Chain A
Amino acid sequence: MDTSLALVLVLSPFAGFLLNVFFGKQLGKTASGVLGTLAVVVSFVATLLVFLNLQTTGKAVSVPLFDWIQLQAITIKFGFLFDQLSVLWLLFVTGIGSLIHLYSISYMHDDENMHKFFAYLNLFVFFMITLVVGSNLVVMFIGWEGVGLCSYLLIGFWHSNQEYNDAAKKAFIMNRIGDLGLLIGIFILGSLFSTLDFAGLQTALAGGAPSALLSIAALALFIGACGKSAQIPLYTWLPDAMAGPTPVSALIHAATMVTAGIFMITRMHFLFDLAPEVQTIIAIVGAATALLAATIGLFQNDIKKVLAYSTVSQLGLMFLALGLGAYQVAVFHVITHAFFKACLFLGSGSVIHALHGEQDMRNMGGLKKAMPITFMTMLVSSLAIAGIFPLAGFWSKDEILLTAFHHNIALWVVGSVASIMTAFYMFRLMYLTFFTTFRGTEEQEKHLHESPTLITFPLIVLAILAALGGAINLPGSTWLNHYLAPLFQAEEAEHALGTLEYSLMGVALAGGIFGILWARRQFITQKSLPKPDEQMEGFAKVVYHKYYVDEAYMRLIVNPINSASRFFRDTVETSLSAVVFGLAKVTLALGAQGRKVHNGNTGLYLFAFVLGVIALITYLFIVQ
């Protein structure tokens, strides 16, 4: 593989960004959308070529470009690394990215700033590719910051709404907290090993012993991952990020950007392997996030909020797997999750589109007949995320739970409970949206329609992938494990499929079905509806308000910072400036007195001059 192919792969979305920024408006909406989509499709095709090449040779390709930062102790190169992990990520980033761009052509067609939307989206894909293929931590960090920026721009895309702007700022600031952790981790590693290359670090750490500093570095990197991948305690930005247009939620806040944390930890697995206590923290945080977010998802009424909490919960499961050292299992779930969650988000976008912006599930219902394709694709994806045999989610989630079972029963229980809740809230969403009768206004009912082909086509493709995606790593034919094997030297022996494994699968499946039936009983048989906001009480109210975590953060962090800054502004700054202004005032007053001497009377000047001479003479001849 040569450098030019790599450059085409990386720079094509950037070219799309530039063209859309400078010429998007003149091109017109459709042309700008097609241009943006093509830019990503080119990347996808290039990725396929790289992938095929990698499959035949089996060797990772490194593309050094130039020496970027040269210091005495350390030289940071700018280069790309195409190994199994990055190419795998590229495949679904550019693949799903292409589909979502295609979808956006139709979805965003009524927006006057469509070229801007595609410019940002292309820029996002460019930065995501940079993040994934960077050959060292610093290049990865460029992409890491870049996707954060694009996420900010796209969450606040409809910037005339102040709430959306606040959501964008929240996402940006929370990510900054995580990024600080990441930077600290990078600095520690750089000062320890004088290299930031992944390959160099792996060599330096190979066979190394755990040390406190390494653990701190691993923990710092994990904090970075927490910010980007929305884990406790930095998860609250992701649900708010749903303020952005739905394709953005699908691409950035479900399928790609939020998996960057998992990518980074998988990339740096050799470091985390040396920090077992950090791995324990990761597993616990992951499990806790999975459970917490799942419970919040149970009571949300905004269709996108349900999916957002579901994303947080699924990311938690992935971190659980990472914490247990089962990196390939986490990667497997990242991929299947990208398929079905992108499909679910795009499906919800299709529903919102049909209802002209309605997002509250209490005002939906009975859309099955009007939108059959959306319904079918979302049903497949919901079954997949609920972990129903033989769809993709079943295999990946099952592997996570299986790994958890082998390590720690408590983690398995937490994961399983989260999975049952997942099944429940997903089918709560499905039943409230598509079954029974329509609860919106008559006006909306008249305009109900299936979305155009540009929207349904990506849905169908993603639904097929969500159904069959599990095939890449079925127990027995473990393609993904073999594919990733060169990355993880200490490959665990594959679990033999015994009675235990089959019974665990059975338990997981039963749990999923139980969740679905529970939802069915509540929303179909009893036809109960979620109560209006003000009638909620007790536990449901607490959960509906997301355990008041946002309020707690407000009280514990934001308000103290605000009052501290107010104190500094009103008291400290005022007193400091009082001193400065006071000095200035004294000088002014003295000057005003001094001016009076200069009254223009030459005689007085002469008199003063003589007095001065006399004083000088007195001093020189008499005092001395």
Chain B
Amino acid sequence: MNNILNQIGIENYIFLCVILFCIGVFGVLYRRNAIIVFMSIEIMLNAVNLLFVAFSTYHQDAQGQVFVFFSMAVAAAEVAVGLAILVSIFRSIGSIDIDNLKNLKG
């Protein structure tokens, strides 16, 4: 473990995570399909998880990994709820394009 990290270097992990996070952000901003938006959010989440794990190893401290487990559990629950909402939206308006979701207008 230690060797791999030393070989690759912590900076690369950080760059990867930033790139992944930005992909997620742009996915959220540019895509109109709710499932893809959802996936982009997951990418952002996992970019952060990855960073957690990398730093945990870098610091030789298990706390970061424990945190990731929690975060994954929460993410699983969130996905379940989010997908259920998407299913019911699709059933009611026949589309999951977020531009069609105007009923929340204030």
Contacts and interface: CB of A to CB of B under 8 A. Distances in A.
Contacts of B37: 606
B28 A595 contact: no
B105 A600 contact: yes
B29 A606 contact: yes
A603 B97 CA distance: 10
A610 B28 contact: yes
A70 interface: no
Given A610-B28, A610-B29, A603 B99 contact: yes
Interface string A571-610: 0000000000000000000000001011111110011001
A595 B98 contact: no
Contacts of B98: 602-603, 606
A597 B106 contact: yes
Contacts of A595: 106
A598 B28 CA distance: 18
A598 B105 CA distance: 5
A600 B29 contact: no
B24 to A, nearest CB: 10
Contacts of A603: 29, 32, 98-99
Interface in B83-106: 98-99, 101-106
B25 A610 contact: yes
Contact of B102 (A600, A606, A610): A600
Contacts of B25: 610
Given A603-B98, A606-B37, A598 B29 contact: no
A601 B103 CA distance: 9
Contacts of A610: 25, 28-29
A606 B37 CA distance: 10
Nearest to A606: B28
A600 B101 contact: yes
Nearest to A596: B106
B99 A598 contact: no
Nearest to B37: A606
Interface string B33-59: 000010000000000000000000000
B28 A602 contact: no
Q: By CB atoms of chain A within 10 A, which of B32, B37, B98, B103 has the most?
A: B98
B72 to A, nearest CB: 21
Given A595-B106, A606-B37, A601 B99 contact: yes
Contacts of B32: 603
A601 B29 CA distance: 12
Contacts of B106: 595, 597-600
Contacts of A599: 102, 105-106
Contacts of A598: 104-106
A597 B104 CA distance: 11
A602 B104 contact: yes
A606 B105 CA distance: 14
Contacts of B99: 601-603
Given A595-B106, A597-B106, A602 B29 contact: no
Nearest to B98: A602
A622 to B, nearest CB: 15
B92 to A, nearest CB: 15
Contacts of A601: 99, 102
Nearest to A602: B98
A447 to B, nearest CB: 81
Nearest to B101: A602
B75 to A, nearest CB: 17
Nearest to B32: A603
Interface in A472-523: none
A600 B104 contact: yes
A601 B106 CA distance: 10
A96 B37 CA distance: 98
A601 B98 CA distance: 8
Contacts of A602: 98-99, 101, 104
A597 to B, nearest CB: 7
Contacts of A597: 106
B23 to A, nearest CB: 13
A601 B99 CA distance: 6
Nearest to B34: A602
Contacts of A600: 101-106
Nearest to A611: B29
A595 B104 CA distance: 11
B73 to A, nearest CB: 23
Contacts of B103: 600
Given A603-B98, A607-B29, 7 more contacts: A595-B106, A598-B106, A599-B105, A599-B106, A603-B32, A606-B28, A606-B98
17 contacts: A598-B104, A598-B106, A599-B102, A599-B105, A599-B106, A600-B102, A600-B106, A602-B98, A602-B99, A602-B101, A603-B32, A606-B28, A606-B29, A606-B37, A607-B29, A610-B25, A610-B28
Interface of A: 595, 597-603, 606-607, 610
Interface of B: 25, 28-29, 32, 37, 98-99, 101-106
6 tightest CB-CB pairs across the interface, nearest first? A598-B106, A600-B105, A600-B102, A602-B98, A600-B104, A595-B106
